[in-house]
Chains A and B, each alone.
Chain A
Amino acid sequence: MAKITFISHDGAEQVVDIPTGWTVMQGAVQNGVDGIEGECGGSCACATCHCYVDESFAGSLPAPTQTEEEMLECTSSERKPNSRLSCQIKVTPELDGMTLHLPETQS
């Protein structure tokens, strides 16, 4: 389990407990976090679960796969160095306390 904080584009904060082994997208969508769509259900096929990882956790995540890397080029909002697709972030206990910033639009 890890506590993940989502901060929407307009600054609203939502904290969600996500079980280990789940993806961040799954935890966000099941808890109704606005601003994460995950239209393809987590198949890395739609780029609608884009988020910006807080710098302090950037080093805790495995590097994106080639598919994620390429899908990140197709996000609706600006791609930044800390951009990730939340369906590709698997929750581990080490991610407890991580903050994710959400983009203005997903599609």
Chain B
Amino acid sequence: MAPAASATGIGGMVIVGAGQGGLQVAESLRAEGWTGPITLIGDETQPPYHRPPLSKALLNGEMTDAQLGIRGLDFFERQRITLLTGVRVSSIDRAVPAVLLDDGRSLSYDGLALATGARVRPLPVPGADLEGVFGLRTLDDAHRIGAALDTAERVVVIGGGFIGLEVAASARKRGRAVTVLEAADRLMARVVAPFVSDFYADLHRSHGVDVVLGAQVVALEGSGGKVTAVRTADGTVYPADAVVAGIGVIPNDDLAVAAGLACDRGIIVDDCARTHDPRIVAVGDCTVRVAEGAAPRRLESVQNAVEQGKAAAASLMGHERPFTAVPWFWSDQYDVKLQMVGLSAGHDRTVVRGVPAERRFSVFYFRDGALIAIDSVNRPPDHMTGRKLLDKRVPVTPEQVSDETVQLAALAR
């Protein structure tokens, strides 16, 4: 489908959600040769910004709001992208077709991209609404947490995943006493091998964080409406002046559900970011990729937003540009860089390359003898090489990986 520019000048391409994915759709539409109107609608008041630093450089004061911006305002002018900030889309009428905005306006579209992101999963325990309890998703959230860290003596982080651990590291950098409560028996359990989990538990403990595993939070306690402590199932009470919960996100697929688009904890898309409505694509955290012969895949990452954004723009222009690259992620905690490529679920063997004691190593994951994923700790070349090896499906053996004299980069060429 290659929609023609609307003759009235209204309509064109409408993008709901002005985060990394939505912006990428807009930019890629121009790169694909779309010359008609593009309207990018965001419910936050800021122009599109980088989210990853919110839990890291922004929180520990190494970065300012202005530096977070992905593109300057004159970029939008030059690219003729109409940016609407602080505006919500209240519904999609696929019959017109048009989107209805919360300020009463209606915007017709030739092509529609949904890039609505995700929202933080609320803590399902009593006291979750007390003052001093935070989730982290937006710049406003980060400002609130940052302000709390100015005075909070004791910070309790609920959830030992990327966000929780990055917040813990930032809070330690700012000199706060930090406890991390993780329900599973190890950190980042959904993503990394036990070996890496253990490494990170040691890392945080060496920085003075009290890491508690197998901790089931049952209630937050407060006084005068403000949080004072976190209680776990074994009866332990952890005093807290501020609580940050990082227990996952919920994809924002409500608009799509209401519009009758197929959703399954996320808007269902194919490799080209297409929904089953030929005028509608979806990208980023709000999506679930369903492909034949593969398990449904939900990725929450910059790469996913960017690559689906490129695929979605191509689809709106009637081209096929599937996103098939191997997923990659990263997490910065203290001075340790964790870079992950591939999905390690289902691995039956791991091989460590490098020197864990020196905080420089990679874990290679194999399934049925084939390399499926690599977690690298302060070993960027392993990560970059791994992306090539996995994308090109270069056969690599565990023996080659464990032998440091074998140059993996040479295999990747």
Tell me the A residues contacting B by CB distance below 8 Å: 19, 21-23, 26, 29-32, 39-45, 47, 67, 70-71, 73-74
Contact = CB atoms under 8 A, between A and B. Distances in A.
Contacts of A23: 67
A29 B71 contact: yes
B332 interface: yes
11 contacts: A23-B67, A30-B69, A30-B70, A31-B72, A32-B75, A42-B53, A67-B378, A67-B380, A71-B381, A73-B409, A74-B380
Contacts of B306: 39
* Most chain B CB inside 10 Å of its own CB: which residue of A21, A39, A45: A45
B53 A32 contact: no
A42 B69 CA distance: 12
B71 A30 contact: yes
Contacts of A73: 381, 384, 409
Given A41-B52, A71-B380, 17 more contacts: A29-B70, A30-B70, A31-B74, A31-B75, A32-B72, A32-B78, A32-B79, A41-B302, A43-B53, A44-B337, A45-B380, A67-B337, A71-B381, A71-B384, A73-B384, A74-B381, A74-B385
In the A-B complex, the 3 residue pairs with the smallest Cβ-Cβ separation, listed nearest first, are A74-B384, A41-B50, A30-B72
Contacts of A43: 52-53, 56, 330, 332, 337
A69 to B, nearest CB: 9
Nearest to A22: B67
B384 A40 contact: no
B138 interface: no
Nearest to A30: B72
Interface of B: 50, 52-53, 56, 64, 66-67, 69-72, 74-75, 78-79, 302-303, 306, 330, 332, 337, 339, 378-381, 383-385, 409
Nearest to A65: B335
Contacts of A45: 330, 337, 339, 380, 383
A26 B67 contact: yes
A19 B72 CA distance: 13
SS of A interface (majority): loop
Nearest to A32: B75
Contacts of B303: 39
B413 to A, nearest CB: 12
A23 B306 CA distance: 21
B387 to A, nearest CB: 9
A39 B378 CA distance: 19
Contacts of A44: 337, 380
Contacts of A39: 302-303, 306
Contacts of B53: 41-43
A39 B52 CA distance: 11
B70 to A, nearest CB: 7
Contacts of A30: 69-72, 75
B302 A40 contact: yes
* Most chain B CB inside 10 Å of its own CB: which residue of A21, A39, A43: A43
B77 to A, nearest CB: 10
A67 B303 CA distance: 21
A49 to B, nearest CB: 13
A46 to B, nearest CB: 8
Nearest to B384: A74
B238 to A, nearest CB: 31
Contacts of B332: 43
A68 to B, nearest CB: 9
* Most chain B CB inside 10 Å of its own CB: which residue of A21, A29, A30, A41: A41
A63 to B, nearest CB: 17
A42 B383 CA distance: 17
A47 B72 contact: no
Contacts of B302: 39-41
A47 B384 contact: yes
A85 B110 CA distance: 40
Contacts of A67: 337, 378, 380
Nearest to B79: A32
B330 A40 contact: yes
A19 B69 CA distance: 14
A70 B381 contact: yes
A30 B72 CA distance: 5
A55 to B, nearest CB: 26
A44 B64 CA distance: 18
